[in-house]
Amino acid sequence: MVYGQEKTPQVLHLKVTSDIDPRSNRYVSLGLEKAIEMKVDYVILELDTYGGALTDADEIRTAILNYERPIYAYINKDAASAGALISIACDSIYMSTGSSIGAATVVTGEGEAAPDKYQSYMRSIMRSTAEAKGRNPEIAEAMVDEEIRLDSLIKDGKVLTFSVSEAIEYGFCEAEVEGITDIMLRSGVTQYDTDLFELNWSERFIALFLNPAVSGVLILLILGGLYFELQSPGLGFPIIASMVAALLYFTPYYLNGLAENWEIIVFFVGLLLISLEVFIIPGFGIPGILGLIFTIGSLTLVMVNNDGLNFDLIEASLLNNALITSLIGFIGALFLMILLGARLTKTSFFNRFALTDVQDTSTGYTSSFYNKSLIGSVGTVVSVMRPSGRIMIDDAMYDAYTRGEYLEKGEKIKVIAAEGTSLKVQKSVP
């Protein structure tokens, strides 16, 4: 069936030409939302990818399967691994000259085959996706598992990868094409309007901060800003930089569905524990250690598509990369603290925000409001001292405090020090 006979058919063109990750996941999700909003007749998903994150590929696959109008995959060179899964989820597959599809074994960041639990899940969703679209499920499964034997279709120990002619022969490609025009002609559509879906500036901004390299820099700014603010309370600029970096770090991952509420809460609990260690508990003990674990752990978990504390479908390489990114940001912050910590207080910029003048006694400053001659004077307690109160010396009233002892009204006292705004006294022995 061809949709939109009363008007010129509308085609929305999506392009995924990089690794399958949270950025491409968000791009496809937003693209399909726009397709629904515009009520387009066809979606063409152009692919040139060697694969990527299994969780993101699965979410893209599910979104395609749930989309109610035709989606055509246009493989423009490569649809390997996660790209093959996404292609098979589409209603029709078209390939450019020299393209390939397959090699869907899940691999680690080092290029080695991932543990069997990942392979098992990939086999199952490849099989079910092929069945849903009327394609041979055994062939789809053979793209993941080299142990599957399909007559002479593949060599022993090799996962299945199709060239264009092979994909056409076995029902995994409708035709070899040169572009969208060929695809639409084969669908019986000669007149149509094409719209290339591109992210607006705000979505491109979000995609930028989903980049792990940028995330590492933001982690450095978050931790470094907190450190310098704690070193110089009231300075203002470091804590502002830290808060802005935290906002830029968490918001894109939250909008993309990666950062869960509890992960963000754990981050602030970690900061609270670190502050408790710094301001209340001397030394560096359990609260400080837990604070670091919570903080770095939260920053790591935000970057991966885990389901609560379930990491079964998160490849170890993705989790390791997220942890390494967080640790690099943490180590970078430590380096920044060591390198700039001592130098910052000597800069003119620092002097604009911090009070650096010293009020020395040699220049006439004093820490006491009272004349030193009052030391040794004897007086009477006017109000109960617990341990501070008021005293009377030679018909003059003064604020005073003891070393911790309580004195009742009328008791005799002796001044032993004149510091700040009060006199330090003790009970006078007759």
d(CA 12, CA 195): 5
Decide which of 429 and 367 is more confident: 429
At residue 371, the pLDDT reads 63
Nearest to residue 18, comparing CAs of 46, 44, 43?
46
pTM, 2 dp: 0.63
Residue 5 clears pLDDT 70, i.e. is over it: no
Angle at 404 between CA 403 and CA 406, to 5 degrees: 115
* DSSP code per residue over 287-352: HHHHHHHHHHHHHHHTTS--BTTB-TTS-HHHHHHHHHHHHHHHHHHHHHHHHHHHHHTTSHHHHH
Per the prediction, the chain carries an average pLDDT of 80
**Alpha-helical runs (H) found in 47-136:** 54-66, 82-89, 116-132
Q: What pLDDT score was predicted for residue 418?
A: 78
The share of the chain scoring above pLDDT 90, in percent, equals 28
d(CA 15, CA 90) in angstroms, rounded, equals 14
Digit-coded pLDDT (tens) for 76-101: 999 998 899 999 999 999 999 999 99
Cβ atoms of residues 341 and 229 within 8 Å: no
pLDDT class of 28 with cuts at 50, 70, 90: very high
pLDDT at position 44 over 90: yes
Q: pLDDT band at residue 14, thresholds of 50, 70 and 90?
A: very high
In this prediction, residues 25-30 reach a mean pLDDT of 91
Spatial CA neighbour of 199 closest among 214, 215, 187, 210: 210
Residue type, 426: Q
CATH homologous superfamily of 362-427: Nucleic acid-binding proteins (2.40.50.140)
Domain ranges of the chain: 10-198, 209-353, 362-427
With tokens 């392979």, the residue in question is: 119
Which whole number is the average pLDDT over 161-187? 92
> Which pLDDT score, from 0 to 100, does residue 353 have?
46
pLDDT of residue 97: 94
Pick the CATH number of 10-198 from 3.90.226.10, 2.30.40.10, 3.40.50.880, 3.40.50.1970: 3.90.226.10
CB 73 within 8 A of CB 79: yes
Q: Is the model's pLDDT at 38 over the cut of 70?
A: yes
Which pLDDT value is given to residue 208?
Answer: 78
